[in-house]
């Protein structure tokens, strides 16, 4: 057993016995954690993207192939997460893993990019409440018109609903991880159950003709260009399974079980995406239908199949998806910030643990404060930032996979590391491939110009923040490793 394994075992036992600094409460069951991951994977996009992107880019079968490929790649990457979670069961996840493999500069970069990915998804899900209500209940909360940003009308009513939702879920998260876990389970079953019921209703509807699925691939792109354009957003589509390592300090079960939970959440997540997309395509001749530029293809398909009852079920599924997305990424972002604060990468208050509820209360309130700005900006402008979420996720995936491979190179006699080495190597390559598809000019999935500008601004902000984080840069390797819980790791990048 190498020093990493010895240290990890000791660290895990200390958490179980409650001897570590700033303990979080170990209250998350396996079902809680699975619910967390699935709810974070399936957000509003599952119900909007079939008409906006999936079918146009790849068609029904092309989308199913692309999402299946994306899921397989995520499963490869998740193998490395499973290897690292039980070795380093601490809040921070990829931040810790990047330090283990590549030391402090890389750790800060990984955390900074991943932080943007996590943080942006919280308000995006909140503003999705207004987006969906415009289709399902037009005019109900679109009251108090204020202004228009990038073509998006901003209403006081939508701001109020989004803000109230964020506040209530943040308070629930502060109240304790047990309450979070119960809410996550409720939302995950509402989400998956609603989708399955709607798909069954569609299959047996007399209004449905399976010939509507033709053509199976998009007529607007070549087969592989369409498939690649969907595969490229897999880091965004499946971001959520990687919230599990952020919660690993709060497991009340052996962290070695985490890979199985990630595996199940990825498979079910991919299935939910495919079911909704296929259901949308089979109600109408989809090519002709999308040419009419429907406001919401999935909603109109459900209404055609099951009327108001179907819309009610769809509403439950969408609301569950939105709330579970906010819930999951509130947890993930706050735990990432907590891990950074423990190592001086963020100011000390971010490491504050609530004395009663044992949750990172300051970090949660900070995420809330930033998220409350978003509804005032307008969803269109916010999407420029959120488009970068795939880049942040891909960077987190790369450092996790690459670190697992580095650990194998350091200890080739370790059976688990040796078995995982091919997955770690391929996961690193896949992660780089995602970044290339999103950044390379001419790629079918390249980021828009506003998104690239926002990405550059974020990177420059990170550089400035790193240079100003003197304690993080100058603290001794021994002390920094100790704050990571990795006293046996030394040196710098």
Burial class (CB in 10 A: 0-12, 13-18, 19+), 293: exposed
Render pLDDT for 291-322 as a digit per residue (tens, 0 to 9): 888 888 898 899 888 888 888 899 889 888 88
Q: Which of 333, 428, 327, 434 is nearest to 114 (CA)?
A: 333
The whole-angstrom separation of Cα 222 and Cα 360 is 48
CA 434 vs CA 236, 303, 344, 398, 452: distances in Å: 10, 36, 31, 10, 15
- Long-range contacts, stretch 201-210, CB < 8 angstroms, 24+ apart: 201/305, 201/306, 201/310, 201/313, 202/279, 202/282, 202/283, 202/301, 202/302, 202/305, 202/306, 205/283, 205/305, 205/306, 207/283, 207/304, 207/305, 208/282, 208/283, 208/305, 209/282, 210/282
Kindly tell me if the per-residue pLDDT of 491 is higher than 50: no
310's CB contacts (< 8 A; 6+ apart) are 198, 201, 302, 303
Give backbone dihedrals phi and psi of 154, rounded to 5 degrees, phi first: -100, 125
Strands 152-155 and 145-149: antiparallel
**Are the C-beta atoms of residues 57 and 224 closer than 8 Å to each other?**
no
Render pLDDT for 314-348 as a digit per residue (tens, 0 to 9): 988 988 888 888 888 898 899 899 888 888 888 88
What pLDDT, on a 0 to 100 scale, did the predictor assign at position 19?
37
Q: Domain count of the chain?
A: 1
- Fill in the DSSP letter of residue 25: P
Kindly tell me if the per-residue pLDDT of 1 is higher than 60: no
For residue 217, the enclosing domain spans 3-484
The residue with tokens 């259901």 is 279
Asked if residue 489 is part of any domain, the answer here is no
Kindly tell me if the per-residue pLDDT of 279 is higher than 90: yes
| Phi-psi group of 124: left, alpha or beta (phi > 0 → left; psi -120 to 50 → alpha; rest → beta) | alpha
Asked if residue 492 is part of any domain, the answer here is no
Asked if residue 125 is part of any domain, the answer here is yes
308's CB contacts (< 8 A; 6+ apart) are none
Q: What is the mean pLDDT of the chain?
A: 84
Q: Which pLDDT band, with edges at 50, 70 and 90, does 368 fall under?
A: very high
Render pLDDT for 92-110 as a digit per residue (tens, 0 to 9): 888 999 999 998 899 999 9
Asked if residue 491 is part of any domain, the answer here is no
CATH code for position 74: 1.20.1740.10
Q: Which pLDDT band, with edges at 50, 70 and 90, does 6 fall under?
A: very low
Least confident of 37-41, 153-157, 375-379: 375-379
Q: Which pLDDT band, with edges at 50, 70 and 90, does 487 fall under?
A: low
Asked if residue 426 is part of any domain, the answer here is yes
């Amino acid at each position: 057993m190498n020093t990493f394994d010895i240290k990890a075992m000791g660290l895990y036992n200390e958490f179980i016995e409650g001897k570590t600094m700033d303990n979080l409460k170990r209250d998350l069951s396996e079902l809680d954690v699975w619910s967390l991951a699935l709810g974070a994977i399936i957000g509003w996009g599952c119900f909007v993207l079939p008409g906006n992107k999936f079918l146009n880019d790849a068609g029904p079968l092309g989308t199913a192939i692309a999402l299946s490929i994306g899921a397989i790649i995520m499963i490869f990457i998740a193998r490395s997460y499973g290897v690292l979670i039980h070795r380093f069961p601490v809040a921070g996840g990829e931040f810790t893993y990047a330090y283990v493999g590549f030391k402090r500069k890389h750790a800060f970069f990984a955390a900074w990019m991943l932080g943007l990915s996590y943080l942006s998804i919280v308000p995006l899900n909140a503003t999705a409440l207004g987006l969906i209500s415009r289709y399902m209940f037009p005019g109900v909360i679109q009251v108090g018109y204020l202004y228009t940003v990038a073509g998006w009308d901003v209403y006081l009513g939508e701001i109020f609903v989004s803000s109230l939702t964020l506040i209530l879920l943040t308070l629930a998260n502060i109240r304790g991880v047990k309450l979070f876990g119960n809410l996550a389970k409720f939302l995950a079953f509402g989400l998956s159950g609603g989708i399955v019921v709607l798909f069954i209703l569609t299959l047996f509807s007399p209004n449905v003709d399976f010939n509507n699925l033709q053509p199976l691939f998009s007529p607007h792109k070549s087969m592989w260009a369409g498939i690649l354009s969907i595969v490229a957003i897999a880091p965004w589509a499946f971001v959520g399974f990687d919230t599990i390592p952020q919660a690993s300090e709060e497991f009340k079960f052996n962290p070695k079980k985490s890979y199985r939970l990630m595996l199940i959440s990825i498979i079910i997540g991919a299935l939910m995406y495919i079911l909704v997309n296929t259901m949308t395509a089979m109600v109408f001749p989809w090519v002709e239908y999308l040419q009419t530029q429907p406001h919401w293809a999935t909603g109109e398909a459900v209404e055609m199949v099951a009327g108001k009852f179907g819309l009610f079920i769809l509403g439950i599924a969408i609301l569950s998806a939105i709330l579970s997305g906010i819930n999951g990424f509130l947890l993930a972002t706050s735990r990432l910030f907590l891990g950074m604060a423990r190592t001086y990468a963020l100011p000390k208050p971010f490491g504050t643990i609530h004395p009663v509820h044992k949750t990172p209360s300051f970090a949660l309130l900070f995420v809330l404060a930033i998220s409350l700005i978003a509804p005032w900006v307008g969803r269109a402008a916010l999407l420029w930032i959120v488009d970068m979420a795939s880049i942040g996720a891909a960077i987190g995936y790369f450092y996790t996979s690459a670190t697992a491979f580095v650990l194998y190179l350091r200890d080739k006699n370790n059976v688990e590391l040796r078995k995982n080495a091919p997955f770690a190597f391929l996961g690193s390559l896949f992660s780089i491939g995602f970044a290339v598809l999103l950044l390379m000019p001419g790629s079918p999935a390249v980021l828009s110009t506003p998104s690239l500008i926002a990405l550059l601004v974020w990177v420059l902000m990170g550089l400035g923040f790193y240079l100003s984080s003197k304690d993080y840069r100058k603290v001794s390797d021994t002390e920094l490793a100790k704050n990571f819980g990795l006293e046996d790791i030394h040196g710098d990048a």
